[in-house]
Structures are given as C-alpha cells and as structure tokens.
A and B are shown apart, each in its own frame.
Chain A
C-alpha cells in the first residue's frame, strides 16, 4: 500500500487543477501551471523515497537541491566557461555574421535563391557533428565551443533575416520609390525595422542551439571545467546529484537566455501585432 500516498497526491492535484482551470483567469492559469510543476516534483520525491531508488539511477529533487547548494562555486565556474564564454560569444558572432551576410546578399536575388534552399537544408542537418572537427582546429578551450555555436546558429538566423528583409509588402516599397528614396535609406528606414520580428524569431530559436552546441562540444575535449566536462566526469564518478545540478543550471541558463532575448524583442518590436498590449 506504499503507492497510496502517491496516488492520493496525484488525484488531489488533478482535482484541484480541474477545479481551478474553470476560472480561466491570468492568476489561475499561472497557479495551475505551478501546481502541475510542484506535483511532478512532489511525486518524484515521494517515488524516490518510498521505493528507495538509489541516487545512481535517479536522485530525489531534494538531493539535487542540496548538491546545487554545496557546489555553487563549481557550477558558477562551469557556467562562465560554457555559457558565457562558449555559447553567448559564439551566438553573438554567429548572429552578427548571419545578419551581415543577409544584408550583403540582399541586392542579389540570384545569391538569395542559391543560398536560401541550402541554408534551409543545412538548418535541418545534425550540425553538432562538426564539433570534433572544430575541437581539433581550435583547441580544447572555449574558442572551439564558440566556433561550433557560430556554425550552428548561422543558418537559422540567416534564413530568418533574409525572409525578414523580403517581408515588406510591395506597396511599401512602391511608396519608397515614389519618394525616390535611395537603396540605403529604404534599407535603413523601412526594411531593417520590418525585418526585426523575423530576426528575433531566429535569435530566439537559436538560444537553445547555442547551449547545446557549447555543451556537446565539450564531450570532444575541454579544459578541466565546463558543464559538458563536469557532466561526463560526474557520471563517471556516479555523482548523479551533481549531474542533475548541472542540468538544472543548463535549464535555468536556457530559460534566462531565451527570456532576455524575448525581453529585448519586446522593446524593439513593440509595434508588432504579437507584442502590442491587448486592448478590449
């Protein structure tokens, strides 16, 4: 009958959420999501404790939390090494390169027609696979991780930016023509602002790719710090709580990275229908 409390919590949470979901307000929606998350954590904790699951297989949330608290120094070093130096640097370089390339090929429909299908194609490929090559070329430190990230984020951002630059409707471009606006002016005043929602779409979807690239590249060689390095060595020592703490850091870093980009997007593209304050 050890399963009884688990089932009780499960049913209780379902009942509570079913009741709450009827109100459908902002507050209850948030509450429902939070209750669901908390229930999963509670069930996880209970299952591990009641059935005495060895931490080597699945540590309880409390154990992960404890490991997180005791290892903050290590986690911070790894965070700086992998996320800040590897992922963010690579992401910035890749994004800048993609935007500049998109603008460079903007005046050549021929190049666009050639590059776009290839870009779309490459975006679907397992690009992380180039990690071993780039680690060979750029060494074990963060530069090789940043290089992997640059390659991974380049094509999705390029494809989005080219689409964004093409997104102005013909009427708006005719309008620019009636004012005899030179190419540079219409690019700066019309097409770049109009491309921003597309650019940010590309920037947002690549934040996750950047983290993946930076962490996975560390499996092919890294200095004695970094999240990928820590995960593989901790797995070797069967220190699963530390592994999970690193995963927690990756999850937080991923959400933060995405959240910051989304926040900048909100400021920059305040005029876009998806960002405007809802009226009525």
Chain B
C-alpha cells in the first residue's frame, strides 16, 4: 500500500463514522432559520392586528402569535407538520381532503407514465445502438430536446386533451412518460456503448452473435447507467405529473392541492402538499436506489 492509499483509507474511516451528525446539524440550522423567518415574515401582520386592537405586545407574545396564525405568510415547521399529519392520518383515505388520496392520484399517473417512458426509452436506445441511420437521425434531436423546457408546456397538453374530452390519468401519464423518456434514452444509449473496443473484439473473437453480444456484454454493462437515469426519470415524471395537475379545473392530485391552496390563501395546505410531494419524490428515488443496489450486488457490480 502506498502512503496515498493509506491516507485514503484513513479518510474513509473518518467519513463513515461522522456521516449523520453533519446532516443533522444542517437540518437543525435550516429549521432554526425557518422559525426565525416565520417570526420575521409574520410579525408585520401580527403587529397590525395588535395596533388595530390597541394592544401592546410583548416580544414573547409576538413570537407566540406569529407561529400560530391560521393563514401565515410563512407557516412555522410545526404548523406544516401538523397540516401534513392532519392530511395523511386525520382523514379517511377516500376523503377529498386526504393527502394520501391526492398522493395516490399523483403517484398512479407518475408510475404509469414512468413505465411507458422507460420502456420506450430503452427500446429506442437498443434500436439506436444497432442502427446507424437511427442513431444519426434521432440522437441529435434527443440531445437537443433536453435544452427545451418541455415541462413548461405540460399544462397546455392537459388543456388540449381536455378539449378533446380526455381527462384523468391518461394525459398526465403522457406528460410523465414524455419527461422520463429522454433521460432513459440518453443514459441507456451511453450505457449500451460503454463496452470498449477490446471487450467487443473479444466477443468477436469468440464468434458471438449480435444477440449474445447484447445480452451478455452490452446489457449488463449498461445497467449502472440505466439506474442512474431511472432516478432522474422518476423524479422528472413526478414533477411532470404535478405540473400537469396545475391547470384550472383539476381537482385531484398534489398539484391541484397546491393550486387550490394558492387560490384560497391556505398557506399551510400549500406547504403540506409540497412536503407530501417531496416525500413522495424521495421515496420513489430511494426505491430505485434500493433496486439498483440489489441488482448490482447480485451482478457483482456493487461498489
């Protein structure tokens, strides 16, 4: 072992012991800043109320009131947590006020779209690595399309579909599929191309057929890339679905919760929906991450 490698080993052991503490510290700092922000941003309103009622507030009274307003400018963390708990556990899950119900509407469209987009992306990628004409035709546009804000036109797609009488899960799933399609396509093409010339020559020297080459070399070596892009794709699919739920008229889904909250000034509701969406996103990405570790470990590729 060289000294550099040893220094690396030294650093690694130090890293694994202190991983949680820094994250907790930063999280605590964020919550503290959040509370301070809530007090600061809501103080004007509380002071105005007090002035109108001709009462003078002590500082502690002011702070207490800023953190329990019904429609605060910035709700305090505990208010959001309460709103989230109320939405998740305080309702029957079939209720229209249940975040579980709205979350399920969003999740089902996300998953449907993700499945379609991923399947299409993988199939097209396989076609592209095996057909030069397809590669040269499609790839430049696929890459260029990543610079176009496709997500921004999602609400419009919904409205157009609605004008044709198509509503519900399908249009949102289309957007989710479209958004997850490109990351998977680009990542998969890159992954299928990772085997270098030497590995391909080796396959060639064994007289492997194209199918054997694909199943035994290209596909396994593309999996790390596939999983990396699946994580991007599922997050994109979820964002797409939520944005697809924004147009006026939508009544179901986390996006609709955001919108109705913004119409009626229900800030706690907005934040609760936002956190529900964030947790859903984290859950989905972690799920793919777990799947990735499991698969790569079975293939002996895990690091």
Judged by CB atoms under 8 Å, the answer to whether A and B touch is yes
CB distance from B124 to the nearest CB of A (A): 13
CB distance from B270 to the nearest CB of A (A): 6
Q: Is the interface of A mostly helix, strand, loop or mixed?
A: helix
Q: Which of B138-157 contact A (CB under 8 A)?
A: 138-141, 144, 146-149, 151-153, 155-156
Query: A residues within 8 A CB of B159?
Result: 232, 235
CA A254 to CA B23, docked complex, whole Å: 35
CA A251 to CA B136, docked complex, whole Å: 21
Q: Which of B115-152 contact A (CB under 8 A)?
A: 132-133, 135-141, 144, 146-149, 151-152
Cβ 8 A contact of A129, one of B137, B141, B231, B258: B258
| Binary contact readout A71-112 vs B (1 if CB under 8 angstroms, 0 otherwise) | 000000000000000000000000000000000000000111
CA A232 to CA B133, docked complex, whole Å: 39
A158 at interface by CB-CB < 8 Å: no
CB distance from A227 to the nearest CB of B (A): 8
Query: B residues within 8 A CB of A14?
Result: 133
Instruction: Indicate the size class of the contact surface on chain A.
Output: 35 or more
CB distance from B179 to the nearest CB of A (A): 11
Knowing A22-B132, A231-B153 touch, does A133 contact B270 (C-beta < 8 A)? yes
Asked if A132 and B270 make an inter-chain contact with CB atoms under 8 angstroms apart, the answer reads yes
| Binary contact readout B143-178 vs A (1 if CB under 8 angstroms, 0 otherwise) | 010111101110110011001100000000000000
Asked if B137 and A33 make an inter-chain contact with CB atoms under 8 angstroms apart, the answer reads yes
B interface residues, tally (CB under 8 Å): 62
Stretch at the interface among B44-52, B205-213, B238-246: B238-246
Q: Which of B9-61 contact A (CB under 8 A)?
A: 15, 18-19, 22-27, 30, 41
Asked if B4 and A250 make an inter-chain contact with CB atoms under 8 angstroms apart, the answer reads no
Query: A residues within 8 A CB of B15?
Result: 113
Stretch at the interface among B95-103, B189-197, B214-222, B276-284: B276-284
B274 at interface by CB-CB < 8 Å: yes
B267 at interface by CB-CB < 8 Å: yes
Asked if A24 and B133 make an inter-chain contact with CB atoms under 8 angstroms apart, the answer reads no
Cβ 8 A contact of A254, one of B22, B149, B163, B262: B149
Asked if B148 and A33 make an inter-chain contact with CB atoms under 8 angstroms apart, the answer reads no
Stretch at the interface among A62-70, A192-200, A215-223, A272-280: A215-223
Asked if A170 and B4 make an inter-chain contact with CB atoms under 8 angstroms apart, the answer reads yes
Asked if B7 and A115 make an inter-chain contact with CB atoms under 8 angstroms apart, the answer reads no
Asked if B152 and A37 make an inter-chain contact with CB atoms under 8 angstroms apart, the answer reads no
Query: B residues within 8 A CB of A17?
Result: 133, 136-137
Q: Which of A172-230 contact B (CB under 8 A)?
A: 207-208, 211-212, 215-216, 219-220, 227-228
Asked if A114 and B22 make an inter-chain contact with CB atoms under 8 angstroms apart, the answer reads yes
B73 at interface by CB-CB < 8 Å: yes
CA A216 to CA B135, docked complex, whole Å: 33
Asked if A238 and B267 make an inter-chain contact with CB atoms under 8 angstroms apart, the answer reads no
Asked if B148 and A251 make an inter-chain contact with CB atoms under 8 angstroms apart, the answer reads yes
Query: B residues within 8 A CB of A36?
Result: 136-138, 141
| Binary contact readout B237-272 vs A (1 if CB under 8 angstroms, 0 otherwise) | 011001100110000001100110110010100110
Query: B residues within 8 A CB of A117?
Result: 23
Asked if B235 and A124 make an inter-chain contact with CB atoms under 8 angstroms apart, the answer reads yes
Query: B residues within 8 A CB of A247?
Result: 153, 156
Asked if A21 and B136 make an inter-chain contact with CB atoms under 8 angstroms apart, the answer reads yes
Asked if B282 and A258 make an inter-chain contact with CB atoms under 8 angstroms apart, the answer reads no
Closest residue of A by beta carbon distance from B139: A33
Asked if B137 and A216 make an inter-chain contact with CB atoms under 8 angstroms apart, the answer reads no
Asked if B152 and A126 make an inter-chain contact with CB atoms under 8 angstroms apart, the answer reads no
Asked if B273 and A129 make an inter-chain contact with CB atoms under 8 angstroms apart, the answer reads yes
Knowing A114-B23, A130-B274, A258-B147 touch, does A219 contact B247 (C-beta < 8 A)? yes
18 contacts between A and B (CB under 8 A): A21-B137, A24-B136, A33-B141, A110-B25, A113-B19, A113-B23, A118-B27, A125-B278, A128-B243, A129-B277, A132-B270, A133-B271, A211-B149, A212-B152, A228-B152, A250-B149, A250-B152, A255-B144
A interface residues with partner B (beta carbon < 8 Å): 14, 17-18, 20-22, 24, 28-29, 32-33, 35-37, 56-57, 110-115, 117-118, 121, 124-126, 128-130, 132-133, 135-137, 170, 207-208, 211-212, 215-216, 219-220, 227-228, 231-232, 235, 238, 240, 243, 247, 250-251, 254-255, 257-259
B interface residues with partner A (beta carbon < 8 Å): 4, 7, 15, 18-19, 22-27, 30, 41, 73, 132-133, 135-141, 144, 146-149, 151-153, 155-156, 159-160, 163-164, 231, 235, 238-239, 242-243, 246-247, 254-255, 258-259, 261-262, 265, 267, 270-271, 273-274, 277-278, 281-282, 285
